[in-house]
């Protein structure tokens, strides 16, 4: 079958294993179908390839047929065949790079280097001056009127999947796992060092107990821990320990520190030097 060197075709089915699609030609009259190979950027030498996702069903594209041979069709680029399109951002600058996948995953990078990546479950990573996920837009046509509307995450992913597991593994043996319930597990092959500059505080909040295995030196400006802490090891605190509740004796034999204070403040005993008489309570009483 002889075809033009360039034609506009619409995807009607996929050949995923063969790396191509089947298309019909616009205004062909006979609705002829032809296989078309997807072109790749980069070497594409069976080891290395820059493979993008295939165009979805109904997508229009510019197709080349070398030598006019319908068996050698090559999908060059997708094109908008109507006023319905995605115009990505509101920055009014020509260098925004935007990518949206069929799964609902999308990412955007602008001229300022601000970037956002959003996953179908709602997980996002944003690096920008504001930290906000930027708005993206598309054009729709209704009653022959084109309207620019914001594209929401709910439109991209009407039924979001359950939270996905985030797992980072480095070659040096460090692992970071955030499971679907929000539990965080950090594995460190070497030393874990955290630096808090200035007058910043370290605050740990939660209802779960905290268990720390190993010796440590706590020299931070302030540690605010909401919950029970079990520290299996020696602790050196270079500062003041203030407890708003009771502090128990190390083995519980003498009760809490408050109990020990009461015993000390009311304690009197026989004179040590003379062996007679009794001493009075201490001059310097401990506050209770």
More confident residue, 9 or 265: 9
- The Cα–Cα gap between 286 and 288 comes to 6
In this prediction, residues 107-128 reach a mean pLDDT of 95
Instruction: With cut-offs at 50, 70 and 90, classify the pLDDT of residue 114.
Output: very high
Are 80 and 14 spatial neighbours (Cβ–Cβ below 8 Å)? no
The predicted-structure confidence for 51-71, as pLDDT tens digits, reads as follows 889 999 999 999 998 888 878
Predicted pLDDT at 59: 93
More confident residue, 239 or 138: 138
User: Residue 207 above 70 pLDDT?
Assistant: no
**Average pLDDT value over all residues in the chain:** 82
- Diameter over CA atoms, the chain: 126
Instruction: With cut-offs at 50, 70 and 90, classify the pLDDT of residue 31.
Output: low
Q: Give the end-to-end CA distance of the chain in Å, rounded to a whole number.
A: 99
In this prediction, residues 72-91 reach a mean pLDDT of 85
More confident residue, 219 or 83: 83
- Joined together, the tokens standing for residue 259 give 């109990």
- Joined together, the tokens standing for residue 92 give 């009014």
In this prediction, residues 99-109 reach a mean pLDDT of 94
User: Residue 3 above 90 pLDDT?
Assistant: no
- Joined together, the tokens standing for residue 176 give 């970071």
Instruction: With cut-offs at 50, 70 and 90, classify the pLDDT of residue 97.
Output: very high
- The Cα–Cα gap between 230 and 210 comes to 6
Q: pTM to 2 decimals?
A: 0.70
Predicted pLDDT at 277: 64
More confident residue, 198 or 128: 128
More confident residue, 184 or 247: 184
User: Residue 44 above 90 pLDDT?
Assistant: no
In which residue ranges of the chain is CATH 2.40.50.140 found? 6-79
**What share of the chain in percent tops pLDDT 70?**
80
Predicted pLDDT at 33: 75
Superfamily holding 6-79: Nucleic acid-binding proteins (2.40.50.140)
In this prediction, residues 113-133 reach a mean pLDDT of 96
Predicted pLDDT at 42: 84
Instruction: With cut-offs at 50, 70 and 90, classify the pLDDT of residue 194.
Output: confident
Closest by Cα among 97, 165, 91 to 135: 91
Predicted pLDDT at 235: 74
Torsion angles phi and psi, residue 263, rounded to 5? -65, -45
User: Residue 262 above 80 pLDDT?
Assistant: no
User: Residue 220 above 60 pLDDT?
Assistant: no
């Amino acid at each position: 079958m002889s075809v033009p060197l360039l034609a506009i075709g619409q995807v009607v089915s996929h050949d995923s294993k063969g790396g191509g699609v089947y298309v019909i030609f616009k205004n062909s009259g006979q609705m002829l179908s032809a296989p078309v190979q997807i072109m790749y950027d980069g070497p594409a030498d069976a080891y290395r390839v820059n493979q993008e996702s295939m165009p979805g069903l109904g997508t229009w594209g510019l197709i080349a047929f070398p030598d006019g041979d319908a068996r050698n069709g090559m999908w060059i680029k997708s094109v908008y065949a109507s006023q319905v399109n995605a115009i990505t951002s509101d920055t009014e600058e020509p260098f925004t790079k935007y990518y949206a996948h069929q799964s609902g995953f999308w990412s955007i990078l602008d001229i300022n280097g601000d970037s956002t990546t959003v996953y179908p479950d709602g997980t996002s990573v944003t690096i920008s001056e504001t930290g906000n996920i930027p708005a993206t837009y598309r054009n729709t046509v209704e009653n022959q009127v084109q309207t620019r509307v914001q594209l929401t995450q709910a439109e991209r992913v009407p039924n979001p999947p359950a939270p996905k597991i985030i797992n980072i593994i480095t070659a040096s043996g460090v692992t970071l796992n955030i499971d679907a319930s929000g539990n965080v597990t950090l594995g460190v092959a070497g030393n874990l060092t955290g630096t808090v500059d200035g007058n910043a505080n370290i605050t740990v909040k939660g209802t779960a107990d905290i268990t720390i295995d190993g010796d440590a030196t706590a020299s931070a400006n302030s540690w605010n821990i909401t919950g029970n802490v079990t520290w299996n090891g020696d602790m050196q605190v270079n500062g003041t320990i203030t407890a708003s509740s009771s502090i128990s004796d190390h083995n519980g034999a003498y009760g809490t520190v408050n109990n020990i204070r009461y015993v000390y403040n009311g304690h009197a005993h026989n004179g040590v030097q003379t062996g007679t008489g009794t001493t009075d309570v201490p001059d310097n009483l401990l506050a209770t």
